[in-house]
Structure 1
């Protein structure tokens, strides 16, 4: 005699498709997010993002910054917005790609915005919080980096996409840029520049730099655009024996994000496994399809070869729900 199970029971017993499993890509599906920046604190990974709210016909509309947390890379907890653009009283618009780091027992967020008319162009502010989930407040009351500090640049939006990295000797560095890539040492107070601003632009650099270190090798990963061959950004990287260089170009790490002109890397080691976070434009929310100003954050495994070079990453729907490489 064969028993017939109700349809609901059969559906409940069926395994989730790879694209629907918790932790598959895109990671967050109730709103549009971009520019992922991971931070590991103890047994928790915090993922900071920008927040796309562009209407049809808009390129970008970004007013605040968000954060999620996870302990297993599968299940994510959403937290309230960590800061609004208007919390920087000197900023006018464009809450773009941030990074948060921990130092001196506090959490420091470096955020690019459009400065008001007193210093036209993009600028980078600093905010601080006592907890990784915020709330963050303006730590300086003015821009850390403004467009007048990089006068050799070719356009007014070059001072964006900060990445911040603390080296083994305790010094903290900030790199940033669009088409030109700059690096400088931060002061011990975390709200000042201590020394010269140096240009370190690698081949095909477009924006979105990310600094990290593994063993004795430093990595500068970034959104690249070979304007002679590609129409969308990809991820490329360079390595160096010291944070000050010299930087050696290592080629492309990933292709472009599906449906997206932009892409933005964030890299972290969490519980013994390396990950790279990216974004694409595959998500639809409340009938709105992904676009240049409506992107979605993703995650993939990251691996290295015997020489410390990063193995090429294939972007997938399964993401980290698949077995690691």
Structure 2
């Protein structure tokens, strides 16, 4: 199945949900895992995209969610996988081993606070000195837990210009509290706003040009992305319409919205990666993103469904440095895993697999040499370096010899010829029909 799908992707013949894709379809931005509930945060001019994680073996309409993942990017198209940054295990007071639902991370006074719903156990909070974690539980109990119901999910946190922080959450009712400056406690009573028109769950609270916005997953199911506006942080909220209308091409959604390097983006989720393999439904979702635009009055122009959009790179990618192999724009069929001592590597590399980066700038002089740090038990395989697409110009080939095991890494090199200017970069793996050819740590051009 994996090889058949890859062939269709290469030839442009793939279809999803029974419908042919357009000549360019904006597929999910993460492919090595199933991800959901995107929560982007900007720090040090970098997007930190925190997500929940649907396990590969989730069945039917039952969620299987155990941890939270992190990805970073500076160009919106090439994303580096940092693996899990927190899990349910951080909360010693929980009694369920499932339910790591939609979280959000915010920064205050040099610390990073992650607000996590533990389905059926309220909302917890974790804190770290770094956006990469590790995140730890500072209070040893739920921050919020209304035990009379299971509506305490999907927290979103925003710190206003006056320093007051707010946390909204809830399905199907909308709730809010004022967080204290310590960000791990709150003052006053829980405020209940009830159900806004078309509101379902997954609120995303932010402020832009003096106006307050509450985006949300709307009207299940299928869920679109709706939004409301207000002149104050506590409403009254006026529902304005859809950022992305509901469509039968999707089932659930969950917004995250940022302004970054002069553009605005909406993140959401869909089942388009799953649909490459099957029409059967399982809760295995994937994060997607699209550019969005505001009108002069602050209202938001409706965005087409993700497959009908195209993300353009904000800037070119620099290949003349150590690049982690888990940085990619497209890597369907590949997997990533975590080194015991930290760091991530690419694995599950089979014959014919590809790894793509977009808008790589080799400069006018061009690259002369390429180095890859890999581990291979059997060797007898290669990494082809192509420009633009998987069948594009071949500018170099790394012959991979055995390193002794899949845990023993060595640098291997090849000469490069013809890599000049700006191109998409595709690594294509060859191995005589074999599976698990190698594990890959990092690479660089010179």
Q: TM-score range by the shorter chain?
A: 0.7 to 0.9
CA contact (8 A) 2:128 2:135 kept: yes
Does residue 249 (structure 1) correspond to residue 249 (structure 2)? The answer is no
Q: Which range moved further: 251-260 or 308-317? A: 251-260
How far is the alpha carbon of 1:85 from its aligned partner? 0.8
Q: If you compute each CA radius of gyration, which structure gives the higher value, 1 or 2?
A: 2
SS in 1 for 2:306: coil
| CA distance in 2: counterparts of 1:44 and 1:163, whole angstroms | 20
- Report the counterpart of residue 84 of structure 2 in structure 1: 81
Aligned pair partner of 1:101 in 106, 112, 118:
106
CA contact (8 A) 1:31 1:285 kept: no
**Superimposed CA distance per residue, residues 26-51 of structure 1 (whole angstroms, 9 cap, x where no aligned partner):** 00111110000000012100100000
| CA distance in 1: counterparts of 2:111 and 2:247, whole angstroms | 33
How far is the alpha carbon of 1:204 from its aligned partner? 2.1
CA contact (8 A) 1:29 1:285 kept: no
How far is the alpha carbon of 1:306 from its aligned partner? 1.1
| CA distance in 1: counterparts of 2:293 and 2:254, whole angstroms | 18
How far is the alpha carbon of 1:320 from its aligned partner? 4.7
CA contact (8 A) 1:98 1:111 kept: yes
Does residue 218 (structure 1) correspond to residue 223 (structure 2)? The answer is no
- Report the counterpart of residue 138 of structure 2 in structure 1: 139
* Change in 2 beyond 3 A, CA 1:231/1:287: closer
- Report the counterpart of residue 203 of structure 2 in structure 1: 209
CA contact (8 A) 2:122 2:144 kept: yes
Aligned pair partner of 1:299 in 280, 283, 289:
289
How far is the alpha carbon of 1:323 from its aligned partner? 8.8
| CA distance in 1: counterparts of 2:92 and 2:247, whole angstroms | 34
- Report the counterpart of residue 263 of structure 2 in structure 1: 273
| CA distance in 1: counterparts of 2:308 and 2:28, whole angstroms | 9
How far is the alpha carbon of 1:122 from its aligned partner? 3.7
Q: Which range moved further: 139-148 or 213-222? A: 139-148
How far is the alpha carbon of 1:130 from its aligned partner? 1.1
- Report the counterpart of residue 24 of structure 2 in structure 1: 18
How far is the alpha carbon of 1:137 from its aligned partner? 1.0
CA contact (8 A) 1:32 1:52 kept: yes
| CA distance in 1: counterparts of 2:50 and 2:310, whole angstroms | 18
CA contact (8 A) 1:237 1:251 kept: yes
Aligned pair partner of 1:27 in 29, 47, 50:
29
- Report the counterpart of residue 262 of structure 1 in structure 2: 252
| CA distance in 2: counterparts of 1:97 and 1:186, whole angstroms | 19
* Change in 2 beyond 3 A, CA 1:295/1:271: same
Superposed, 1:93-242 pairs within 5 Å as: 93-114=98-119, 121-148=120-147, 156-201=149-194, 202-225=196-219, 231-242=221-232
Does residue 68 (structure 1) correspond to residue 46 (structure 2)? The answer is no
SS in 2 for 1:284: helix
| CA distance in 2: counterparts of 1:289 and 1:38, whole angstroms | 29
Structure 1 spans left out of the alignment, 5+ residues: 1-10, 12-16, 115-120
- Report the counterpart of residue 4 of structure 1 in structure 2: none
CA contact (8 A) 2:274 2:285 kept: no
Q: Which has the higher contact order (CA 8 A, sep 6+)?
A: 1
How far is the alpha carbon of 1:289 from its aligned partner? 6.5
Length-normalised TM-score, structure 2: 0.61
SS in 2 for 1:79: strand
Length-normalised TM-score, structure 1: 0.83
SS in 1 for 2:188: coil
CA contact (8 A) 1:276 1:302 kept: yes
| CA distance in 2: counterparts of 1:164 and 1:64, whole angstroms | 20
CA contact (8 A) 1:90 1:142 kept: yes
Structure 2 spans left out of the alignment, 5+ residues: 1-9, 11-22, 315-446
* Residue-pair matches, total: 289
How far is the alpha carbon of 1:184 from its aligned partner? 1.0
* Change in 2 beyond 3 A, CA 1:253/1:290: farther
Moved over 4 A (4+): 285-290
